[in-house]
Structure 1
């Protein structure tokens, strides 16, 4: 068992309050919702658009694999973004890192909406698409870790679960926004959709960025980080210190985060593609199912955040992983019926199960690392999990060729991810560390 890390330092402790925590968490939520909106748009477009418009020289299966590979590039870039913005966040402040990430991803996403397709500029189209996806990945690599760190470091210790969960609500809200946007543009005739319709959700990122940036500019720096500066306890190279001094905790963080990232994209990006391209289900049915599931995810996220305060985020993570593993095969069996009702139920139940663990990721991961390494540790753990599991839709698609278009391979991948997360939750609950120097105002 790794020895708990201490955060004790001399001097007056920083003060936090529930009132400030709520304001900061709401600001973190708004920014995170935009970040994930941008990121999820790419996942939906990878399943429905990019394979046809940006990889048209390839046969359908190869084009879909190439589209998902480009989707996965964003995940591969996330650990690099975690190191970069973790350095900024742990060395210079959480706030400047978060302002930079939101601008990067907002601009990159808007530019995707302006990108000419393969028919217009040839090979340059998929190359530019991959570059913009890379920028998205770098930004998201620093975004989530900073957002939950800010929310948690402004909150009283006994209320961290709910405020960390508020940041997580940004994910289903972003899904709702992205799914609604694509549902509406899918109403256009096919020719207009292929020409301009699919671009509209991406272009909306520009005005949304201005709103989110305005809100984030009003966010104050973390009181715990201010205390680290005052005590001259910041790390010179935070990412290296995470690997050297908190390597075991990093492994646990990766395990605990696998299901929330990889499982989500299995149930959304892969299942949408599987339903449309393999089962022949109408694409509106698949997209609408993810929209309904997002509403359920919001409810589960709120409830699990409160439950984590009572029983611990590690235990919630563990049981979420176990339940998902048990039901992985039945869920895909429901999808294989091709029934719109059964597909909607399967996707909704799947997202609800994954949300059990995902809801408390912020609360668990932030308490795995001491304050001076927190931004880097949380960002690295979450985004190494993302880099590992972000290629799962591509792997699951490749497995369809091995299994004769049967879904058992995808179900097996989901079950394995879920069990690994259950292990991460079990270990993580026993390795949590509290910030000892905070004083909570009434």
Structure 2
């Protein structure tokens, strides 16, 4: 494939590109604030609030199970919003997904604990978590494509990386707020303090929707839509976007496997590593603030990785990130279990920087494997299946492996190392997409 010919970017066009990139970054930050805030809460709060009366291990497993429900729902959101995003437009779907996510997160902050309504607390929590999963499942693909399809050809990795930079930004915001309220006396924190960061989603939702309504639709999509209308006039019917993706499944399978380690590493640090550090004697707020600092630095790491992928290609950057994180797995857990605030924070910093090498180019890496007519569906489905395989069940699985090993960490580390190797192999098996023509309806 060759790079598509593109119009000269006038100052007005460049201004619009910057507005689209900022919109994608802000929207992604808000979405992942809501989604990853739940991850930290599921590790540090929900076992006590929603599963009281059970033994500590069962509390953690059940809480991580509700966390997994969001990942199970993400592919559904990717397919549904991807279909309409490929047929109706990227922009409209992004406004809808943001509203659903913000409303679900706000309502999580209002759910009574199990002491008040018993098992219904967990049922309501799971339902709202599923709504979060559906929303974020449709969010990422649209935001990544808006940035990718507005950008100049040689800057696509850099532009799309800002959408993924929203993940550490959201994690930073959520962990920082939760950490501040964790400074309250424990009784007050569990009674009401943890709820405030979720309730603030209403404010973030209003800001995000206002910004999103002010950007233009993807020019690549509009051109494809005009082409599709001409085809309809000639009685040539385009296949459903999902069928276009599934009838040539190689790209879907390899992008799913190639991205899996990014989410396994990310979720491990957002959940299990925090529980592990607290159980080893670290203070809850110390762990949250250490993760917050690492998330802040990861924002820049993600963008830098996207820029590196424009220069060296998507595949080399992803492979280095997968294998380097895998190689340092055992040292990371030694640092998280040390009880030392500096070592715990350093492990989070290094771990998230290496994970950023995978995560930064991921938007362009996945999206460039699919044609315009099915790109929203293909990119969303590949990405969300990767989150399910790599992230959805990882916290509960790691907790089970840890317990079955008698509190030893080696089985957990081996699992994560294998994930890194599998992803590196899948990335090497797929074509380099940096020079693909985004205007092609089919690749």
Please confirm whether the aligned pair reaches a TM-score higher than 0.5, indicating the same fold. Answer: yes
| 1:346 matched residue in structure 2 | 347
Aligned with residue 50 of structure 1, among 46, 49, 56: 46
| 1:241 matched residue in structure 2 | 244
Contact preservation (8 Å) 2:280, 2:338: no
Within 2, Cα distance between the matches of 1:431 and 1:13? 17
Within 2, Cα distance between the matches of 1:222 and 1:145? 13
Within 1, Cα distance between the matches of 2:435 and 2:126? 39
| 1:332 matched residue in structure 2 | 333
For the residue of structure 2 that corresponds to 1:231, the secondary structure is: helix
Within 1, Cα distance between the matches of 2:17 and 2:6? 17
| 2:126 matched residue in structure 1 | 130
| 2:272 matched residue in structure 1 | 270
Deviation at 1:436, TM superposition (A): 5.8
Matches within 5 A, 1:186-205: 186-205=182-201
Contact preservation (8 Å) 1:364, 1:428: no
Deviation at 1:236, TM superposition (A): 4.4
Deviation at 1:198, TM superposition (A): 0.5
Runs of 5+ unmatched residues, structure 2: 232-236
For the residue of structure 1 that corresponds to 2:154, the secondary structure is: helix
Deviation at 1:338, TM superposition (A): 2.3
Aligned with residue 37 of structure 1, among 33, 39, 42: 33
| 1:410 matched residue in structure 2 | 412
Deviation at 1:22, TM superposition (A): 1.7
1:112 equivalent in alignment to 2:108 = yes
Aligned with residue 255 of structure 1, among 254, 257, 260: 257
Runs of 4+ in 1 over 4 A off after TM superposition: 12-17, 233-236
Contact preservation (8 Å) 2:36, 2:270: no
Within 2, Cα distance between the matches of 1:320 and 1:21? 28
Instruction: After superposition, give the CA deviation of every residue in 1:102-146 in whole Å (9 maximum; x if it has no partner).
Output: 000000000000111111111110000000000000001111111
Instruction: After superposition, give the CA deviation of every residue in 1:262-298 in whole Å (9 maximum; x if it has no partner).
Output: 210112211011122x323211121111111112212
Deviation at 1:428, TM superposition (A): 3.3
| 2:437 matched residue in structure 1 | 435
Contact preservation (8 Å) 2:95, 2:212: yes
Deviation at 1:437, TM superposition (A): 4.3
Contact preservation (8 Å) 2:314, 2:433: no
1:208 equivalent in alignment to 2:208 = no
Aligned with residue 91 of structure 1, among 87, 90, 93: 87
Within 2, Cα distance between the matches of 1:326 and 1:436? 35
Runs of 5+ unmatched residues, structure 1: none
Deviation at 1:259, TM superposition (A): 2.1
Within 1, Cα distance between the matches of 2:124 and 2:159? 37
Within 1, Cα distance between the matches of 2:53 and 2:312? 54
Matches within 5 A, 1:327-406: 327-389=328-390, 390-406=392-408
Within 1, Cα distance between the matches of 2:311 and 2:287? 36
Contact preservation (8 Å) 2:372, 2:438: no
Within 2, Cα distance between the matches of 1:197 and 1:437? 49
For the residue of structure 1 that corresponds to 2:282, the secondary structure is: coil
Matches within 5 A, 1:1-40: 17-40=13-36
CA gap 1:281/1:224 in 2 versus in 1, 3 angstroms:
same
Contact preservation (8 Å) 2:314, 2:432: no
Contact preservation (8 Å) 1:331, 1:350: yes
Deviation at 1:235, TM superposition (A): 4.7
| 2:295 matched residue in structure 1 | 294
Contact preservation (8 Å) 1:155, 1:163: yes
Contact preservation (8 Å) 2:154, 2:310: yes
1:60 equivalent in alignment to 2:60 = no
Deviation at 1:413, TM superposition (A): 2.0
For the residue of structure 1 that corresponds to 2:110, the secondary structure is: coil
Within 2, Cα distance between the matches of 1:219 and 1:15? 20
429-438 vs 205-214, greater mean Cα deviation: 429-438
- Coordinate RMSD, CA, aligned: 1.9
Contact preservation (8 Å) 2:276, 2:336: no
Within 1, Cα distance between the matches of 2:144 and 2:63? 30
Within 2, Cα distance between the matches of 1:410 and 1:299? 29
Within 1, Cα distance between the matches of 2:431 and 2:325? 19
Q: Aligned residue pairs: how many?
A: 429
Contact preservation (8 Å) 1:91, 1:235: no
Within 2, Cα distance between the matches of 1:264 and 1:156? 29
